[in-house]
Structure formats: C-alpha cells, structure tokens
Chain A
Amino acid sequence: MLEIHNLHARLADGREILKGIDLKVAEGEVHAIMGPNGSGKSTLAAVLAGREGYVVTEGGVRYLGRDLLAMPADERAREGVFLAFQYPVEIPGVNNTYFLRAAVNAQRRHRGEAELDAGQFLRIVRAKLKLLDIGDDLLQRAVNVGFSGGEKKRNEIFQMAMLEPRLAILDETDSGLDIDALRVVARGVNGLRAPDRAIVMITHYQRLLDYVEPDHVHVLQDGRIVQSGDKGLAAELERTGYGTFDELAGDAA
C-alpha cells in the first residue's frame, strides 16, 4: 500500500532531515516508527501528509500505486491518507461538527458519492461515538479550541473514525496523555484496525505499544531507519534506550 523509497527531505533552510528512508507498509499492518527527538519522525509524517516547508531532494513515495508526493495535501487526504496531529490546531469560530461534515463530504464528492445532509451525518456521528465509546461533548465546540490535551487527541481519533482512511499516520498521538486518556485513545485505534487499513504509529516511547500491538517496529535515527523488527524490538529499546543504535547509525553513514 505504501512504499517509501530512498526518501531524502530537507527544510527550507537547507538542513537535511530525512537521509534515505526505505519502508514498505502493506494493507492491514500496524507499523511503529520509534526514535529519539530530532531523528526525523515528525518530518516523515509531515512529508507524507503534504505539509509545506519541506523539499524532497531524492527518492519517492508510492501510495496505492500512485505517486503520493505529486498530490496536494487535500487530495492525499481525500485519497485516504490521514495524519493524526501531534499538536492538533485550534480553529476559533469553526464548529467541530461543521468542520467534520465538510471533510466527510469533500471525500464523498471526490469518490463521486452523494453528500450527506445534516441528519444523515449526525446518525453516522452517533454510531461512531458509540463504537469508540466517547462522549459527544466535543461536537458543538469550535475545532480544538479550549480542548484539553486528551480531548484534542481523542478528537483526532474520532476524525479518523469518521474519515475511515486507508492509511493512518499517528504522530506522537500518545504524547502528553495521562494513562486514562492513553487507554481511551488506544481503544479507539484498536477499534479502527482493519484488513484494508494500514496504521503507522510514530512514537518516542514504548508506552502506546503496550496498548496497540504493532506488527513491525522500526527505529529511526538521524534520518534513516537503522533497524527493523517485530514488537520485541520495542521492548528491547525500552530496556536499553536509543543509545545502542547510535553505533548502527554511524555504521550506516
């Protein structure tokens, strides 16, 4: 589903952040990408989602057989790529429900499906809320405005449930959450695992992986994937820290 080949990317100021990423993600799989701060985890998520401010200098990304990087961000989203933000953005004056309906309908138009009216949309909202076991208290507020850290992340997962992406990239979705909030979010993610959906979790810590079990774990260090393995790799990291992999990164250079 997703094939990242020798991906190099730098910031507008010229600093190279991604230095040759190779990664294949198949349908139904859950991948965890782990790494210390500054290793390029969030840059990878941003480049995949189409955020401006990054220049891809080498390599490429294919998604469902298409050139992902050739599509603008909004088209990627309508094609089924979803990014759960590390820092969800507050948008004063834009109602959360209104925003979500616009997003769902943009996707439906893209697929040639009829748009949902307010009633049809609300029925789906209710069903999804029930499925995720979260309340409807966030619906009538402005997007993320005044939400707690936990509420913001819960809102991200709720959006994911509504948009039913083929590829979900969760950028540090566990950061800043207490254990109860983490459980709620993890339950949501587990509920969204599906045979035709791939999930890429980007995280600094092992913690989330205790609740959402990955099929594959990759270690990102200085812009490259320096090791890949099964979930046992995450446990090893927890024990030894990222220090062990500095050596590997050095070798690869």
Chain B
Amino acid sequence: MSAIVDFPVKPEARPYLDAFEQNPQTEPGPLARHRRRGLARFAETGFPSRKSERWRYLDLQPLAQHPLLPAAAPSAGVLQAAHEHLTGLLLPGKGPRLVLVDGYFAQDLSSLAMPEGVWFGPTSAALAERAELLDELAAEPRGGSEHPFLALNAAFFAGGYVLEIAPGVALDDPIEIIHLGSGARASSFHTRSLIRSGAGSRASVLEVYAGEGRYWRNDFVAIQLADGAELARTAVIEEAAEALHLARIDATLGRAASFAGFALILGGRTVRHEASVAMEGENARCRLDGAFIVTGRDEANIVTTIDHQVPGGQTRELIKGVAAGRGHGAFQGNIIVREDAQKTDAHQLSRNLLIGARAAIDTKPQLEIYADDVKCSHGASIGDLDEAALFYLEARGIPAEEARHMLIDGFLREVVETVDDFATRVHLLRRLAGRLGSLEE
C-alpha cells in the first residue's frame, strides 16, 4: 500500500508513485493537492488499454515494461550542449522564444521580451506570480478520464509556458516554443501550458519538439480563445528516433473566434497528437490540419475531436499521411454537431500515401450529427505513388529515388502550404524537405 492512495495500484503505475514519494513536497497547498489527485487517478487507471477506441492504434507495451521516470532539472553542462542542438530548429528572426530542456524552462536560451499587453513566461513563473491561473493550469482537461497520462502530467509537470494576450493586441511575429530533449538520461518530460487569447487579439505560435536519446514526452496545452480572437498554433514534431511523444491540446473557442491548429509529424518512435476543440461561441471557425511521415517501425497517430455546440460554426480539417518501411500511421477524427449547432459547415478529409508492402495506414474519419440544418462531409483515401508521375519525372532525368521524394514532398506540401504565417510555413517546408532527404523506404 502506498501512503498516497489506499486502493490497489496498477502495476505499471507503481514506479511513478514511488518516484513521486521520493520527491520532497515544497509547493503551496493547492498545487500539491492537484498533483496528488492526478497521481491517485493515474494509479487507479494505469495505462490506457488497446481495447480503448482512442488508444487502439498505439503499442504502449515498451513503455509499460520500461518505465521512464520524470527527468531531473538539466545541469549547466546539459544546457550548454542543448544550445548547440538549437541550430536549425529555430526561425530566422529574433522573435520571442521560450526554450524548455527536458521539460524545464531554460532561461539563458530564451528571450521573452513582449509588447505591452502580453504575459509570456514559463509555467513555473506563472504559478508563482499569477495564483489565479492555478485552477486553469492544473485542472483536469475535458474527457480526462480517457487520458490517464494527463493525470500523470498533473502530478509531475515541471515546465511549460503561459501566453496571455490582452484583448485587441495583434502580434505579427510568431512566438516560438522549443521543447528539447537533451538525451542526458532516459526519462519523461511532463509539460503543461496555457494560451489565453483575449477578445479580438491575434497571434501565431510555433512549437517545435525535438531531442536526442530515449525519452517520453507527455505534453498538454490548454488554449482559450475569447470572442473574435485569432490564433494559429503549429507543432513540428521531430523527436529522436527512440522517443515517445504523447501530446494533447484542448482548445475552447468563443464567439466568432478563429483557431488554426497544425501538426507536422516528422520523427519519433511513437507519436500521438491529440487535439480537442470545443466550439462554444457562435460562428467560430476552426481549421485543424496535419501531416505525418512514418518510416522504419515508427508509429504516428493523430486523434481529433471537434465539438460544435452552438450555431454557425465552421470546420475545415485536412490530414495527410505517408507511411513507408514498416511504419504505421493512423488518423481518428470525430466531428460532433450537437442539436443546437444549426448551420454548421464542417468538412473533414484524410488522404494517405502508402509506400511499400509493409507499411500500414488506418484512417477513421467520423461525423456525429444531431442537428438537421447543416453542411457536413468527410472522406478518406489511401493510395500509392502515381506511376505516371514517377515516369514523367524519370523521363526528365531525375533519379528514381529523388523522383519518389519529390512526389511525397508534393503530396504533403499541399497541406503544409495552408499555414498562414510566412516564416512558419518556410520553416516547415524546409524541415519537411530535410526529412525526405533522409527517408528510408
């Protein structure tokens, strides 16, 4: 029996409970209570089962068998080395940037200067300076019961960021968040972040996830858009070859708010990107796009839920996937249109390229419609590279492998080019091209 919980603990949760107990508790009461509650819930539920619909496509056995305990704060040496790894991951400008190493805020690598009306800083500072944010930061996310790792995240989160934009403030330069895994020790990084976009504000956030060695990233971002706010949030996931990346964003949209979420998955042994969007205000607009490449024995899983609760919402969702080698990609998308959400206009499309006989793609687009005056569609396709196009390129002297990469790049580029911010778009296309340069089919 554990000192923290008085019920049977799932065996795979035991090492994390032990790690928690060994940690000295120095935080203020309310936060400590949130943490203990999260830990208890994780202890009770353990890892999600593959029988659970939302987790069926991922193999979590390796993680269950080889626990990755929360990382310690990086040493000065590790931070110094991390500096070298940043090259290539950054946008060219000197815009606002927050760097997390092994899930901890790295002050010397960050530049947080922001115009009037914007609060931007690490989660740890937000908790110290902005006690009123505690509940929003530490609260259990929607549908948290299906996501035991979010409970574990509540127990352990060390870093993350808070971005709060006052009403009416427009930020032209993208804000960069870099999540770096140092590879210093096999461990897990639990990060928790919050974006609050005030009414009529406008901003663009680029989050980059990269690293070295074996680690498990467990990331949660809560996003709140007030009426008329516009926010683009782009994630580039290019984790280390052996890394696990389980991330979730929860976005809530006010009236006529506009959210554009984008995820580009280029690397990582097991990557799960989950996005849940609640359309709470009328006439809100949501674009949720993504692209993934899996090779080797990689797995990537994009899981999305867009919940239209009120009238007049608009959703556009396009997810493109490429699976090569023994890679396995999966998309599970659900658009819910509730009874009151009349005049909803929602379209969802999943398009995939399967390269080679041993790669696999699963795609499950889904619409749940309870209103009667709506315009909704969904679709999915899985195909091979176009042989006629390949021959056309080869007939111009382009070597076969380069021709294949050009076609894959062209296929994914179509969705990457929907990213509005120019610097972000250029960065994504460059990272994509770099990834294809080292593609093993």
Measured CB to CB, the residues of A under 8 A from B are 49-52, 72-74, 77-78, 82-83, 85, 88-94, 99-100, 102-103, 106-107, 110, 142-143, 159, 163
- Shortest distance from the beta carbon of B388 to any chain A beta carbon, whole Å: 5
Whether A89 and B392, one on each chain, are in contact in the complex, defined by CB atoms closer than 8 angstroms, is yes
Whether B392 and A74, one on each chain, are in contact in the complex, defined by CB atoms closer than 8 angstroms, is no
CB nearest to A162 among chain B residues: B396
Quick check: which of B170-178, B192-200, B321-329, B402-410 contacts chain A, the rest being far away?
Answer: B402-410
* Given A74-B403, A92-B414, A94-B407: A102 in contact with B398 (beta carbons within 8 A): yes
Q: Using Cβ atoms and an 8 Å threshold, which residues of chain A touch B394?
A: 50, 72-74, 77
- B395 interface residue per 8 A CB criterion: yes
Q: Using Cβ atoms and an 8 Å threshold, which residues of chain A touch B399?
A: 74, 106
CA distance A89 to B394 in the complex (A): 12
Whether A52 and B398, one on each chain, are in contact in the complex, defined by CB atoms closer than 8 angstroms, is no
- Shortest distance from the beta carbon of B403 to any chain A beta carbon, whole Å: 7
Whether B410 and A142, one on each chain, are in contact in the complex, defined by CB atoms closer than 8 angstroms, is yes
CA distance A33 to B134 in the complex (A): 80
Q: Using Cβ atoms and an 8 Å threshold, which residues of chain B touch A78?
A: 397
Whether B391 and A52, one on each chain, are in contact in the complex, defined by CB atoms closer than 8 angstroms, is yes
Total interface residues in chain B, CB < 8 Å: 24
Q: Which of A89, A91, A103 contacts B397 (CB 8 A)?
A: A103
Q: Using Cβ atoms and an 8 Å threshold, which residues of chain A touch B387?
A: 52
Q: Using Cβ atoms and an 8 Å threshold, which residues of chain A touch B386?
A: 89, 91
Whether B403 and A89, one on each chain, are in contact in the complex, defined by CB atoms closer than 8 angstroms, is no
Whether A93 and B414, one on each chain, are in contact in the complex, defined by CB atoms closer than 8 angstroms, is yes
CA distance A50 to B393 in the complex (A): 12
Whether B413 and A93, one on each chain, are in contact in the complex, defined by CB atoms closer than 8 angstroms, is yes
- B64 interface residue per 8 A CB criterion: no
CA distance A85 to B393 in the complex (A): 12
Whether B410 and A93, one on each chain, are in contact in the complex, defined by CB atoms closer than 8 angstroms, is yes
- Shortest distance from the beta carbon of A233 to any chain B beta carbon, whole Å: 29
Question: Can you list 29 A-B pairs with a CB-CB distance of less than 8 A?
Answer: A50-B394, A50-B395, A72-B394, A72-B400, A74-B400, A74-B403, A77-B394, A77-B395, A82-B395, A89-B386, A89-B389, A91-B393, A91-B410, A92-B410, A92-B414, A93-B409, A93-B410, A93-B412, A93-B413, A99-B393, A99-B406, A100-B396, A102-B398, A102-B402, A106-B396, A106-B397, A106-B399, A107-B397, A159-B396
Q: Using Cβ atoms and an 8 Å threshold, which residues of chain A touch B402?
A: 102, 106
CB nearest to B320 among chain A residues: A93
Q: Known contacts A93-B410, A99-B398, A143-B392; can you find 10 more A-B pairs with CB under 8 A?
A: A73-B395, A74-B395, A74-B397, A90-B389, A91-B392, A91-B407, A94-B409, A94-B410, A102-B398, A106-B396
Q: Using Cβ atoms and an 8 Å threshold, which residues of chain B touch A163?
A: 396-397
Specify which of B392, B402, B409 lies most central, judged by the most chain A CB atoms within 10 Å of its CB.
B392
CA distance A44 to B348 in the complex (A): 45
- B55 interface residue per 8 A CB criterion: no
Q: Which of A50, A52, A85 contacts B392 (CB 8 A)?
A: A85
CB nearest to A107 among chain B residues: B397
Q: Using Cβ atoms and an 8 Å threshold, which residues of chain A touch B412?
A: 93
Whether B395 and A102, one on each chain, are in contact in the complex, defined by CB atoms closer than 8 angstroms, is no
- B411 interface residue per 8 A CB criterion: yes
CA distance A91 to B406 in the complex (A): 10
CB nearest to B391 among chain A residues: A51
CA distance A74 to B407 in the complex (A): 16
Q: Which of A51, A52, A99, A110 contacts B396 (CB 8 A)?
A: A99
CA distance A163 to B387 in the complex (A): 22
CA distance A49 to B243 in the complex (A): 45
Specify which of A72, A100, A106 lies most central, judged by the most chain B CB atoms within 10 Å of its CB.
A106
CA distance A99 to B398 in the complex (A): 9
- Shortest distance from the beta carbon of B432 to any chain A beta carbon, whole Å: 11
Q: Which residues of B (338-358) have their CB < 8 Å from a CB of A? A: none
- Shortest distance from the beta carbon of B279 to any chain A beta carbon, whole Å: 30
Whether B391 and A73, one on each chain, are in contact in the complex, defined by CB atoms closer than 8 angstroms, is yes
CB nearest to A159 among chain B residues: B396
Q: Using Cβ atoms and an 8 Å threshold, which residues of chain B touch A82?
A: 395
Whether B395 and A49, one on each chain, are in contact in the complex, defined by CB atoms closer than 8 angstroms, is yes
Q: Using Cβ atoms and an 8 Å threshold, which residues of chain B touch A52?
A: 387, 391
CA distance A205 to B86 in the complex (A): 62
* Given A93-B413, A94-B407, A94-B409: A88 in contact with B392 (beta carbons within 8 A): yes
- Shortest distance from the beta carbon of A155 to any chain B beta carbon, whole Å: 11
Q: Using Cβ atoms and an 8 Å threshold, which residues of chain A touch B407?
A: 91, 94
Whether A102 and B406, one on each chain, are in contact in the complex, defined by CB atoms closer than 8 angstroms, is yes
CA distance A98 to B237 in the complex (A): 26
- Shortest distance from the beta carbon of A52 to any chain B beta carbon, whole Å: 7
- Which 10 A-B residue pairings sit nearest by Cβ, starting from the closest? A93-B410, A77-B397, A103-B396, A94-B410, A89-B392, A74-B394, A78-B397, A73-B394, A93-B413, A106-B397
CA distance A142 to B412 in the complex (A): 13
- Shortest distance from the beta carbon of B352 to any chain A beta carbon, whole Å: 15
Q: Using Cβ atoms and an 8 Å threshold, which residues of chain A touch B391?
A: 51-52, 73, 89
Whether B395 and A93, one on each chain, are in contact in the complex, defined by CB atoms closer than 8 angstroms, is no
CA distance A163 to B353 in the complex (A): 31
CA distance A53 to B397 in the complex (A): 19
CA distance A54 to B403 in the complex (A): 21
Whether A94 and B400, one on each chain, are in contact in the complex, defined by CB atoms closer than 8 angstroms, is no
CB nearest to A52 among chain B residues: B391
CA distance A91 to B403 in the complex (A): 11
